[in-house]
Structure 1
Amino acid sequence: MSNPLIYSVVPIEFRLDLKDPFIFCAHHIDHYPKGNADLGPATPALNKEYNMYYGETVPGFPEHPHTGFETITLVEQGYVDHFDSLGNAGRYTEGDVQWLTTGNGVEHCEMFPLLHEDRENPFELFQIWFNSSPEQKKQPADYRMFWREQIPHVFESDPEDRKSDIRVISGAFKHTDAIPRPPHSWAAAAENKVNIYLITLAPEAELTIPATTATSNRFCYFYEGKTLDVEDQTIDFKHLVELKADADIHLKSGLLESRILWLEGEPINAPVAMRGPFVLNSNEELDAAFRRYRETHFGEWPWPSPAPVFEKVQPRFATYNGGERKEFPEQL
């Protein structure tokens, strides 16, 4: 790259390959049709018609295990019904974020009920696979919901009064802090500088992202719009840009509104051994984790099926402590 602040620009179809402490990010988009009474598609799904259709009736990912890392799920469109082997469950939707630390093992399912029978059910989410430190991989699994009503927004205007909206998912943007992350997350400690933003720029709006540490890894994913100027280099829609971290980065939207996923953080600097849904530090640890999973399934699955969903009328909510505590965002 001729620009010393831009290390690489990569076109993206589905998966964003990232660097420590991030593992990768999947950008899921599916154009689901009208739903039926069973919350599945009113018209039968053809083979491989959708990216995320692993359930028999309802789209989504039935019961499956994870250990050793974190999933950060940011929903842009559609609904997610969550169930896990900790006995927790919930429903979340557009603008909400779920942060799950899988620690020493958990099973969960993520189903995408099609609630609307009178119109199509477009679906879009980001799921970031985020690594854990060796010590955090040994801790109990945990999760936290970041409801859209709670997520801080920073609104800025450029000299021409063109607007930018920065949703602060993790870390801080200038003097605005994010909601606390789960306690056994690499992102929970401020010194790790794990900043995750969802940025919306009005047409031709300009915004400067402040520098972070020289040792951090930093990425800008331009996922909606026409063009985006990054340090005066024009970037096309659906491209991932790796950037110098210890420099201010100037952004300017093209003629259409631009949306950006911004990721940066200090590396964990530990070996990574990954096999399917398990992320540990060595092949020996992976072998031991798979043996433990075969013996224990990371706890009993307390739900009536591998792919449960809630009734259509269920509002957004989450449970914690094995279902003992319920949380409804409208009541917060």
Structure 2
Amino acid sequence: MIIEKGKNSFQLKCQNPFVVTMHHIDYYPKGNAELGPIEMKQIKRDNYGGDFNFNDRWKMYYGKKVPGFPAHPHRGFETITIVLKGFVDHTDGLGSSGRYGNGDVQWMTAGSGLQHAEMFPLIYEDKENTLELFQIWLSLDYMDRMVDPDYKMLWNEDIPILNIKDENNKLTNIRLIAGKLKGEKPPKPAKNSYASKEESKLSIQIIEMEPKAKYKTPYVSDTLNRSIYFLKGDKLLVEGETLYNNEYAFLTGDEISLENIGEEKTQILLLEAEPIDGPIVAYGNYVMNSMEEIEKAYEDFRDTQFGGWPFDKREIYHDKNEKRFEKHEEGNVFYPGLENKE
């Protein structure tokens, strides 16, 4: 059943243990030789220097040459970045780095504290560089706030897609990023993630339904927090109630009927999990157990920079010709589909 519904915004309204989710969609133009936009626009910088004018087709955010988010700190939670289109260049203060996109997912545990940069390189000079991604902030369990930072890639090639047909042969595709469904499991999340605990029953799914398709979510539990975000499509029937484009619904953990009653294919983000039975206090870049711990995070960052930033600039992006890769602090480089390189 539907517990609550409403309109989406840039920051999607979330339920415990999900803290906040952002849906970025930027219609970037062709890129230049430095991976920035070929035609730099005049930007009014507000929000502490950022660029968040949602009337524009694309944003530089905090980037000056290349769009994105130069080095900034986090503590106490995880970021799960699901890139549907475009690319992201990752660098963190531990020395890890990577480039991922077009279906890849990055799972990063900030834990006790970490700085990272996430830039959006405009790789293509001969065509537009549309970027679409979700970034989900997932709370760590209240006992695990200060675990060691971690970073893991879930490559597009390894993420299962379930193709489910209803009684009328209409198709629903489910991209399973976390959790298990109908016997399928994606790659494991980061090791200390709340999602790695069986009892969390955590699942992240992207659901695409062709017109007239019907699908029922399975029963999970009576205490589950389940949220759906209807981001593309016309009309979605949820337990007999109509959800319109760019609306959300909070649902029970029962078997829930969904039907695409519009004329377009849907895109639905589903987040579900058992709530964390402990405090979750989010403020700025930190998620902790109390405001006192938030204040301590700010103090620690001033004193230690969470281990520092061993680079001469805050806005870091990789070589234009670099392929998708994952590099950890020990130096090993992994290219999806290829053998590891030392």
Q: TM-score when scaled to structure 2?
A: 0.92
Post-superposition CA distance 1:87-132 (Å, at most 9, x none): 1000001111111111000000000011111111111110011101
Quick check: 1:218–1:265 contact (8 Å CA) kept in 2?
A: yes
The structural deviation recorded for 1:51 is 3.9
- 1:136 equivalent in structure 2: 144
- 1:290 equivalent in structure 2: 298
Matched, 1:19 2:15: yes
Post-superposition CA distance 1:175-220 (Å, at most 9, x none): 1122111111111012110011111111211111101111111101
Matched, 1:329 2:336: yes
What count of residue pairs does the alignment treat as equivalent? 326
Distance of 1:182 and 1:145 partners within structure 2: 9
Distance of 2:210 and 2:226 partners within structure 1: 23
- 1:118 equivalent in structure 2: 126
Could you tell me which runs of 5 or more consecutive residues in structure 1 were left unpaired when the two chains were aligned: none
Paired residues for 1:135-214 under 5 Å:
135-214=143-222
Q: Which amino acid aligns with 1:187?
A: A
The structural deviation recorded for 1:323 is 4.4
Matched, 1:278 2:274: no
Distance of 2:297 and 2:65 partners within structure 1: 31
Could you tell me which runs of 5 or more consecutive residues in structure 2 were left unpaired when the two chains were aligned: 44-52
The alignment-based identity, stated in percent, is 40
3-state DSSP of counterpart to 1:53? coil
Matched, 1:249 2:256: yes
Quick check: 2:142–2:280 contact (8 Å CA) kept in 1?
A: no
Quick check: 1:30–1:52 contact (8 Å CA) kept in 2?
A: no
The structural deviation recorded for 1:78 is 1.0
- 2:103 equivalent in structure 1: 95
Distance of 2:169 and 2:78 partners within structure 1: 38
After superposition, the CA RMSD in angstroms is 1.3
The structural deviation recorded for 1:276 is 0.5
Matched, 1:317 2:325: yes
Matched, 1:8 2:8: no
Q: TM-score when scaled to structure 1?
A: 0.95
Q: Which amino acid aligns with 2:35?
A: L
Distance of 1:106 and 1:219 partners within structure 2: 29
Quick check: 1:75–1:125 contact (8 Å CA) kept in 2?
A: yes
The structural deviation recorded for 1:300 is 2.5
Which deviates more, 152-161 or 66-75?
152-161
Quick check: 1:174–1:210 contact (8 Å CA) kept in 2?
A: no
Q: Which amino acid aligns with 1:24?
A: V
Q: Which amino acid aligns with 1:40?
A: G
Distance of 1:165 and 1:323 partners within structure 2: 38
Matched, 1:36 2:32: yes
Distance of 1:195 and 1:160 partners within structure 2: 27
